[in-house]
Amino acid sequence: MVATDTFAVFARRMAATQGYPCIVVADTPNPIRQLEPKVLRARAEAMIATVIDGLTLPAEEIERRLREIATQQIRPQGIVRSSVPV
């Protein structure tokens, strides 16, 4: 998944609701609107290794790398949420 840093945690939480908590998220600083093509290209190039990893690594390796990050982002310690959807 590709997202700006503003939406990266939200993207992971949404993916977790569909059963994919360890999804690979390639993020770039927000905003991206109205950036020059040269700057956008540099940002895309900075994310390319993450995109390639997400497409080529075995699922077990992705999960091993992202398990702790996913846990921290999906269910942050000290944050209490309702277990019943509203």
Q: Quote the CA–CA distance of 31 and 64 in Å, as a whole number.
A: 30
Q: Which helix (H) or strand (E) holds 52?
A: helix 37-56
Q: pLDDT averaged over the chain?
A: 90
Structural domain for 10, as ranges? 2-74
Tell whether 34 is covered by a domain.
yes
Tell whether 24 is covered by a domain.
yes
| Number of independent structural domains in the chain | 1
DSSP string, 7-46: HHHHHHHHHHHTT-TT---EEEPSP-TT--HHHHHHHHHH
Q: Quote the CA–CA distance of 69 and 6 in Å, as a whole number.
A: 16
Tell whether 83 is covered by a domain.
no
State pLDDT tens for residues 6-47.
999 999 999 999 999 999 999 999 999 999 999 999 999 999
